[in-house]
Amino acid sequence: MKRSSALLLLLTLSACAVGPDYKRPPLNLPTQWQSATDFHPAVPGDAQFKGNWWEMFADPQLNKLVQQALKQNQTLQGAVEHVQQARLQRQIVSSAQLPQVALQASDARFKSAINRPVAAYGQVNTSTLQNNPQLGLVVSYEADFFGRARRMTESATAAEVGAGFDFENTRLMLLAELATTYFRLRALDEEIELVQQGVLYQEKNLTLIRDRHELDYASGLDLAQQQALFDASKTQLTLLQNQRALLKNALATLTGTAAPEFNLAAQSALQPVPLLGVGLPADVLQRRPDISAAERAMAAANARIGVAQAGYYPTLMLNASGGWDSTQMANLFSAPSLLWALGASLTQTVFDAGKTSANAHLAESIYVQTVAGYRQTVLVALQEVQNGIDSQKQLTEALVEATAAEKSAQQVLELANVRYSGGLDSYLNVIVAQEAMLNNQRLRAQIHGQQLQNAVYLVKALGGGWQGL
């Protein structure tokens, strides 16, 4: 009866683990987004990465660059190794839950000294010369009565899963940066083409004004004004080309290519902005890999509280060894050479100057910190999604207005040319109309590029993997 009770107590102790069991802290989330009427509802899946979201932009060149980045980007390669390191660390920590077995083998030949201390008074020492081959197994195991090893494994497992989410977040951030940079470059391509067309138009007008000036049909002021506009447009073109070169070099690095070896032909036609679906604010918790990583960091920190609190309790080590010990190799494996030992050691810290207590409080403080980090990550995610929704709505309205302004500027330019040719207005009105026309064209191109960039931003904010509707 006593043995049964002792066994039951032992099993009960071995089944429990000190420290709090993990529970995800509650969050107070809004029920809907503001200004979400312009967006289609979408139903998210689980927390895993979904689909090639960049393909919704229907840009073959972007798809090609993404594939290069996935294969060659060095930051992504480092993230892969981080996942592997977390996996190996979990394997290392998990090994503490199983016995450790070692094979020991040795062989020595030694001579004892006659002048060594005697084992007993009246006994005369003699010198001996002999061999001592040994072979055996040593088994050691820490009885995890209070769950220290299990909590360590729990923490390492959560860290391993979190490393996987970190990888997904790194991948998402990388591809979002790549797509954003790409669309900024394409918007510049359109601007550059518009300015180039403007320069050609202004050069033609400059020739015309110069000819009219030679015939005394145009003043020197008209010629100087057109020359100034032409020179200013060429300067703008140079600056835009410089910006494009910088973005091209950035794309080279993102795709894992040396900048001097990377080239990307101009393409002025921007792709249409895809329609995006957004779910409820709570869905972001399932879709964002950085939120999932922060949640796993909380779980890992919570488990480490149990590891620290286990320091208050004794440690029981079980040891067993067995093998053969002889003076001759020939009879090493005989029965008289057999030896074995079983034992246990119990260690209880009595005084450590507050070290164990400090470790426990430190683990609790780190857990509270990870909770704050998790909640902050959620708040930032909600902010980013709301920013994307608001920006997309405003940019859509701005594009309509910019397109209308471009058409009006075109009409003004045509009318100004007619009135100047008829001698009704000075050439200054034509100059002003040309500048307004070019500025409105560039503004429309910039807004379209910002729409595409904001679409990428919104995809990233939603966690990636959302398909166009």
CA distance 367 to 361: 10
Which of 30-44, 102-116, 352-366, 378-392 is predicted with the least confidence, judged by mean pLDDT? 30-44
Distances from the Cα of 348 to the Cα of 139, 310, 312, 354, 356, angstroms: 22, 11, 8, 14, 12
Predicted local distance difference test score (pLDDT) of residue 35:
66
Radius of gyration over every alpha carbon of the chain, rounded to an integer in angstroms: 38
CA distance 459 to 356: 46
Residue pLDDT, tens place only, 214-224: 888 888 988 89
pLDDT band at 335 (very low <50, low <70, confident <90, very high): confident
Is residue 467 over pLDDT 50? no
DSSP per-residue letters across 63-86: HHHHHHHHHH-HHHHHHHHHHHHH
Identify which of 444, 440, 424 has the alpha carbon closest to the alpha carbon of residue 432: 440
Better-predicted residue by pLDDT, 3 or 76: 76
How is residue 335 annotated by DSSP?
G
Is residue 374 over pLDDT 60? yes
Predicted local distance difference test score (pLDDT) of residue 242:
97
Is residue 1 over pLDDT 70? no
Torsion of CA 238, 242, 247, 251, to 10 degrees: 110
Q: Mention every residue, 6+ apart, whose C-beta is less than 8 A from residue 448.
A: 187, 190, 270, 273, 399
Residue pLDDT, tens place only, 446-460: 999 999 999 999 999
Return the number of other C-beta atoms located less than 10 Å from residue 232's C-beta.
13
Backbone angles phi, psi at 129, to 5 degrees: -125, 120
Return the number of other C-beta atoms located less than 10 Å from residue 193's C-beta.
17
Residue pLDDT, tens place only, 285-329: 778 899 999 999 999 999 999 999 999 999 999 999 999 988 888
pLDDT band at 201 (very low <50, low <70, confident <90, very high): confident
User: How much of the chain exceeds pLDDT 70, in percent?
Assistant: 92
Q: What's the average model confidence in pLDDT over 187-205?
A: 90
Please say whether the dihedral angle defined by the alpha carbons of residues 30, 36, 37 and 39, taken in this order, is positive or negative: negative
8 A C-beta contact, residue 334 and residue 58: no
Chain length of the chain: 469
Backbone angles phi, psi at 99, to 5 degrees: -65, 150
Is residue 4 over pLDDT 60? no
**pTM metric for this prediction:** 0.84
Residue pLDDT, tens place only, 248-297: 999 999 999 999 999 999 987 778 888 777 777 777 777 889 999 999 99
Identify which of 463, 171, 169 has the alpha carbon closest to the alpha carbon of residue 296: 169
CA distance 168 to 174: 10
Return the number of other C-beta atoms located less than 10 Å from residue 420's C-beta.
20
How is residue 320 annotated by DSSP?
E
CA distance 186 to 255: 17
Residue pLDDT, tens place only, 104-139: 999 998 888 888 888 888 888 888 888 889 999 999
Q: Mention every residue, 6+ apart, whose C-beta is less than 8 A from residue 319.
A: 138, 139, 140, 141, 341, 342, 343, 344, 345
Q: What's the average model confidence in pLDDT over 39-49?
A: 42
Residue pLDDT, tens place only, 236-249: 999 999 999 999 99
For the chain, list the domains and their CATH numbers: 15-98+145-312+356-461 (1.20.1600.10)
Q: What share of the chain is helix, strand, coil (3-state, %, to 5)?
A: 65, 10, 25
Place of tokens 């979990």: 90
Partners of 340 in beta bridges: 322
The two counts, helices (H) then strands (E), for the chain are 9, 8
pLDDT band at 73 (very low <50, low <70, confident <90, very high): very high
Distances from the Cα of 422 to the Cα of 184, 300, 416, 427, angstroms: 42, 81, 10, 11
8 A C-beta contact, residue 33 and residue 389: yes
Please say whether the dihedral angle defined by the alpha carbons of residues 253, 255, 261 and 263, taken in this order, is positive or negative: negative
Backbone angles phi, psi at 137, to 5 degrees: -115, 145
CA distance 420 to 428: 9
Q: Which helix (H) or strand (E) segment is 105 a member of?
A: strand 100-106
Residue pLDDT, tens place only, 5-28: 444 444 444 456 888 999 888 888
Return the number of other C-beta atoms located less than 10 Å from residue 207's C-beta.
11
CA distance 209 to 205: 6
Predicted local distance difference test score (pLDDT) of residue 286:
78
